[in-house]
């Protein structure tokens, strides 16, 4: 059963506390007043009506969505994991009061919050961001006069991928999935040999070889990597034989374990094919390159930066609406748009423009990074406001006087600072949730927490 609001917070135990202890810090007090708006709970009601209408009134009650939203804001602002978050909330009177959890009540279990985050998905987070923007424009009289757009990389939570390390992961994951299938179907006599030690020996030898940095070392690296890939192929053959025998069984738990084994077998085959293509000199399509067994949606992203030419994860487009273009302008973020791998700036821009149209916002100026093409950018932004003035960094045909162009250039550079601020203060730089959907959830909560802090700081009646 969906539970939107929390119970009364001022119980007998709270009334015994001094007023100074019960009063929230200034930043939490402002956010608390903003989050009390009932409109911010409507995305949860619509989600439940869409996914499971019967659960609105039946079944075990959920945790209060008011409490859940506040917990997720604290997580984004602090960078804590779920276990640390719930432990800190349980130990703090201020955080308990902010999350609407009375002193005598238990805090939710970390698994409840973690599973609920995945179950709600990125659509609910995007709806919450739209609600905050609507609330800011309606009640705080926030005027969306200017827009700046830039893209960054949300790194996947994986280690730097190498062919040999992927081979080691393939053997380990295949063996684990095969053992799970054997437990589900005890009558199976076919076994998958664990070749992890054999691959690890080659990994250690490869590490020693790389120190030499000679032509002979390159040949040794190729030989050791191909030997590791041969171990993976042998494991794949045994896993295929095991899966074929499991299909004849009628054990009730067979289906899920068998599907998982077939899934990781297909991934392991992609790894061996990548090793073959690499040493054969064949190009590997970036959109299909596997870089991790544990985040299979992550892809290489080439950004051309000297320190980190290649990153692994997702390209995120962030669009910030501000009420002016002066120095230090702080605005509201639209729902982030995200794609796996190297994605051109203009590919995500139509989705950003659709957000502006849906929110009925018509900024008068828009500033973009040099990666945006003038023609497609102008065509897309004309759907938002035909009279919008565009500025693209490095483009010679930018309209306006020299003074206007300099002002817009300084305003655009502020987007770089905003991205750094989001990564440093709200954890937007590295997604701790796996998959493209997980990255969208992670980036969405970071943007929502930022928008709540920004809107809460706006005095009522300003524009």
Q: How many other CB atoms are there within 10 angstroms of residue 187's CB atom? A: 10
- The pLDDT value recorded for residue 252 is 73
Phi, psi at residue 437, to the nearest 5°? -65, -40
- In terms of Cβ atoms closer than 10 Å to its own Cβ (0-12, 13-18, 19+), residue 69 is buried
- Are 238 and 267 members of one domain? yes
Q: Tell whether 317 is covered by a domain.
A: yes
Cα torsion through 441, 444, 449, 450, rounded to 10: 150
Which residue range(s) make up the domain with 195?
A: 163-288
Q: Tell whether 335 is covered by a domain.
A: yes
Contacts for 91 with CB less than 8 Å, ≥ 6 apart: none
- Are 376 and 339 members of one domain? yes
Q: Tell whether 461 is covered by a domain.
A: no
Q: How many other CB atoms are there within 10 angstroms of residue 283's CB atom? A: 7
- The pLDDT value recorded for residue 462 is 45
| Cα(406)–Cα(429) distance, integer angstroms | 29
- Are 128 and 242 members of one domain? no
| Cα(271)–Cα(173) distance, integer angstroms | 13
- Are 444 and 341 members of one domain? yes
Q: Tell whether 116 is covered by a domain.
A: no
Total domains, the chain? 3
Q: Tell whether 322 is covered by a domain.
A: yes
Least Cα distance to 206 among 164, 250, 145 occurs for: 164
- Are 447 and 302 members of one domain? yes
| Cα(71)–Cα(434) distance, integer angstroms | 20
Q: Tell whether 462 is covered by a domain.
A: no
- Are 59 and 104 members of one domain? yes
- Are 380 and 433 members of one domain? yes
DSSP per position, 16-57: TS-HHHHSPPHHHHHHHHHHT-GGGGHHHHHHHHHH-GGGGT
- Are 243 and 345 members of one domain? no
- The pLDDT value recorded for residue 141 is 84
Contacts for 69 with CB less than 8 Å, ≥ 6 apart: 35, 40, 128
Query: 365-368 and 332-333: which strand pairing?
Result: unpaired
- The pLDDT value recorded for residue 83 is 95
- Are 451 and 359 members of one domain? yes
- Are 153 and 176 members of one domain? no
- The pLDDT value recorded for residue 421 is 95
CA dist 135 → 34, 37, 129, 246, 429 (Å):
9, 9, 10, 56, 27
**Last residue in a domain, options 288, 319, 346:** 288
Among all chains, which residue has been given the structure tokens 């779920």? 82
- The pLDDT value recorded for residue 291 is 94
- Are 90 and 134 members of one domain? no
Residues paired with 320 in a beta bridge: 148, 333
- Are 283 and 315 members of one domain? no
| Cα(27)–Cα(274) distance, integer angstroms | 51
Phi, psi at residue 320, to the nearest 5°? -115, 130
Q: Tell whether 216 is covered by a domain.
A: yes
**Last residue in a domain, options 225, 253, 288:** 288
| Cα(29)–Cα(78) distance, integer angstroms | 17
What's the token pair of residue 285? 């399509």
Q: Tell whether 53 is covered by a domain.
A: yes
Q: Digits of tens for pLDDT over the chain (463 positions)? A: 888 888 888 777 778 788 888 889 999 999 999 999 999 999 999 999 888 777 677 778 889 999 999 999 999 999 999 999 999 999 999 999 999 999 888 999 999 999 999 999 999 999 999 999 999 998 888 999 999 999 999 999 999 999 999 999 999 999 999 999 998 888 888 889 999 999 999 999 988 887 776 777 888 889 999 999 999 999 999 999 999 988 887 777 788 899 999 999 999 999 999 999 999 999 988 888 999 999 999 999 987 777 788 899 999 999 999 999 999 899 999 999 999 988 998 999 999 999 999 999 999 999 999 889 999 999 999 999 999 999 999 888 888 899 999 999 999 999 999 999 999 999 998 999 999 999 999 999 999 999 999 999 998 764 4
């Amino acid at each position: 059963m969906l539970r939107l609001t929390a119970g009364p917070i001022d119980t007998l135990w709270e009334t015994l506390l001094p007023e100074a202890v019960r009063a929230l810090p200034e930043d939490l007090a402002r956010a608390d007043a903003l989050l009390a708006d009932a409109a911010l709970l409507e995305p949860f009601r619509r989600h439940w009506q869409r996914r499971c209408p019967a659960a609105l009134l039946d079944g075990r009650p959920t945790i209060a969505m008011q409490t859940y939203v506040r917990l997720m804001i604290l997580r984004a602002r602090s960078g804590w994991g779920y276990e640390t978050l719930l432990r800190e909330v349980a130990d703090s009177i201020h955080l308990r009061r902010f999350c609407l959890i009375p002193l005598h009540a238990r805090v939710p279990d970390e698994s409840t919050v973690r599973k609920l985050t995945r179950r709600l998905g990125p659509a609910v987070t995007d709806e919450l961001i739209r609600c905050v923007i609507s609330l800011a424009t309606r009640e705080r009289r926030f005027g969306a006069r200017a827009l700046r757009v830039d893209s960054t990389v949300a790194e996947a939570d994986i280690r730097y991928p190498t062919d040999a390390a992927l081979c080691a992961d393939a053997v380990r994951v295949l063996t684990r999935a095969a053992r799970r299938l054997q437990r589900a179907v005890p009558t199976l006599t076919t076994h998958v040999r664990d070749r992890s030690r054999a691959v690890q020996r080659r990994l250690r030898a490869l590490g020693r070889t790389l120190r030499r940095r000679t032509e002979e070392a390159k040949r040794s690296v190729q030989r050791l990597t191909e030997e590791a890939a041969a171990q993976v192929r042998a494991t794949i053959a045994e896993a295929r034989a095991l899966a074929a025998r499991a299909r004849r069984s009628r054990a009730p738990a067979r289906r899920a374990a068998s599907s998982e084994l077939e899934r990781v077998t297909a991934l392991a085959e992609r790894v061996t094919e990548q090793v073959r293509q690499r040493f054969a000199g064949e190009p590997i399509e970036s959109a299909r390159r596997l870089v991790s067994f544990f985040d299979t949606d992550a892809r290489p992203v080439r950004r051309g930066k000297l320190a980190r030419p290649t990153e692994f994860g997702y390209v995120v487009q962030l669009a910030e609406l501000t009420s002016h273009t002066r120095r230090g302008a702080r605005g509201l973020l639209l729902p982030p748009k995200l794609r796996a791998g190297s994605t051109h700036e203009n590919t995500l821009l139509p989705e950003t423009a659709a957000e502006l149209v849906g929110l009925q916002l018509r900024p008068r100026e828009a500033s973009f990074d040099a990666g945006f093409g003038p023609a497609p950018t102008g065509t897309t932004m004309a759907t938002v406001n035909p009279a919008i003035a565009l500025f693209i960094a490095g483009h010679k045909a930018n309209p306006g006087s020299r003074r206007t162009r300099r002002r817009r250039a300084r305003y655009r550079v502020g987007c770089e600072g905003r991205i750094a601020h989001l990564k440093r203060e709200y954890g937007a730089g590295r997604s701790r949730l796996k998959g493209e959907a997980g990255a969208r959830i992670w980036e969405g909560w970071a943007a929502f927490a930022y928008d709540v802090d920004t809107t809460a700081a706006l005095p009522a009646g300003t524009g």
